[in-house]
Amino acid sequence: MVAKNYTTEVLVVGGGPGGYVAAIRSAQLGKTVTLVDKGRVGGVCLNRGCIPSKALISAAESLKTIDQLSDLGIDVGKPSIDFPRMMEWKDGVVKKLINGVSTLLKRNKINVINGEAFFHGPNTVQVITENNSRLYHFKDCIIATGSSPTELPSLPFDGHQIISSTEALELKEIPEKLLVIGGGYIGLELGTAYRKLGSKVTILEGTDSLLPSVDQTLVRVVKRNLKKLGIKIVTKAMVQGCEDANGTVTVTAEVKGEKLTYTADKVLVAVGRTPNTKNLNLEQAGITTDERGFIPVNDQMRTSNDHIYAVGDITGGALLAHKASYEGKIAAEVIAGEPSSVDFKTMPFVIFSDPEIAYAGLSKNEAEEKGYELIISKVPFQANGRALSMREPEGFVQVIAEKQSKKILGIQIVGPEASTMISEAVLAIEMGISVIDISSVIHPHPTLPESLMEAADNILGNAVHVVK
């Protein structure tokens, strides 16, 4: 097959939250743009990650809410689950958003090609589609191919019983027993959702705690709730292998020096993600990667080839959709000649556990390591009227400030709607304001963000609803 030749100013490889945002921003800045993706636009986040998982989590939380309605004097009887219909609803949410992204790309006059891209030189990519092969010559290129679930050699994915998060979001029925390998945010979120739907869930984590990179004062609140839900947590568990028999999988793990076995219908392996860079022929474009396959970039998202940029998961660091979108905008603006560069001063992190965890800025340990003298305020949601009226009083808001200046260094939240509340925290830290500023801003009552104001007041000695 002879490849046809095409030219484009900006070629974007990958249509996820990094790629499609980079493509649209490039088009806004007057560039002719071609976007290549071998799947549906939206990437992992929209198709197999953020959106479908949060839809499933939301559905499972609704079931939990129904179970607790009798506390409010509302009796509805025992609910039943039509799981195929639930998954159909989840797929409908995904489809609606995919159509939205496709419409945005079309209206911004971006040429979208469904195919797989391989570099053929420093400014050339071969795109193989279902029907033909094309060579695209570009002036600038943005790589945004994302990441895939990491496979354990002792537990290779089979797509049926040993599954990744992708298959976990496409199950046909609720497993009776679900074994989760990995106590990071993916395993925790999906394990909690399936427990609420009725699965018996066990989580095996290799380190000595769930969410090992997260402030453990936040994690302890979540662990208490996991225990209430009946989720079994096993730490310091190193998986050694598995056996498949009669439709079930038996996993062997060494736990604190003892060899134990765990049997389940499905085994969800959620031990991290691997960058999708292996099959791009990057060496043909003069692009280097590190030992794990991530692409090093500078603060303008440039790779070792000055006309090729990389954004999102393939650049390493925090593998977050909002980070990818932010980097995609930066790359597009740099290509257009604007003086843009990344500034990760305040990156928000959100975990959709029960209750939710969200944090931004420095943790207590990080701030102390940097030599700050600290003043810390922690306000429980039990003192918040809105949290009590929502029947979600677990958790707290914590504000970490520099003692002398009262400048906010970090904010951590574990509790109801932490994912929403963190945006005010991000803005506060990004703008370099002090607790005095938050204390001076009137927060509507009764709302959850009042807890943030109360935490600021507490540092100043002005808190009314908690004792300093």
272 is in an annotated binding site: yes
Amino acid at 398: Q
> How do strand 374-380 and strand 396-402 relate by DSSP bridges?
antiparallel
Residue 54 annotated as part of some ligand binding site:
yes
CA 117 vs CA 129, 332, 348, 408: distances in Å? 9, 19, 32, 45
Q: Which of 160, 443, 445, 465 is catalytic?
A: 445
Instruction: Select from 271, 276, 272 the least CA-distant residue to 295.
Output: 276
Neighbour tally for 315: CB within 10 Å = 24
DSSP summary character for residue 407: B
Angle at 205 between CA 201 and CA 206, to 5 degrees: 155
* CA 395 remoteness from chain centre: 21
CB 414 within 8 A of CB 356: yes
The distance in angstroms from the start CA to the end CA of the chain is 75
CA distance 168 to 163: 7
Residue with tokens 């609140």: 221
The answer on whether 395 is annotated among ligand-binding residues is: no
**Six-digit token pair at 48?**
């197999």
Q: What is the DSSP letter of 152?
A: B
CA distance 411 to 393: 19
At 268, list the tokens. Answer: 């969800």
177 is in an annotated binding site: no
**187 carries a ligand binding annotation:** yes
Residue 116: count other Cβ atoms within 10 Å of its Cβ.
16
* Block residue for tokens 């002792």: 154
Q: Is 158 annotated as a binding residue?
A: no
Q: Is 205 annotated for ligand binding?
A: yes
Is 183 annotated in some ligand binding site?
yes
Examine the residue annotation and report whether 445 is marked as an active-site residue of this protein. yes
Distance (Å, whole) CA 195 – CA 329: 38
Q: Calculate the CA dihedral of residues 120, 125, 128, 134 and round it to 10 degrees.
A: -100
Residue 146's nearest CA partner among 315, 389, 6, 308 is 315
Neighbour tally for 85: CB within 10 Å: 9
Q: Strand locations in 131-224, DSSP E?
A: 133-143, 147-149, 162-163, 177-181, 200-204
Residue with token string 């992190």? 349
Please check if 146 is assigned to a binding site.
yes
Strand ranges, E, within 19-130 = 33-37, 111-114, 116-121, 124-128
The reply, when asked if residue 313 is annotated as ligand binding, is yes
- Say how far apart CA 61 and CA 454 lie, in whole Å: 28
> Is 37 one of the annotated binding-site residues?
no
Strands 116-121 and 124-128: antiparallel
Question: Residues annotated as binding site for NAD(+)?
Answer: 182-189, 205, 272
Question: Residues annotated as binding site?
Answer: 54, 145-147, 182-189, 205, 272, 313
Q: Which sequence positions are flagged as catalytic? A: 445
Question: Residues annotated as binding site for FAD?
Answer: 54, 145-147, 313
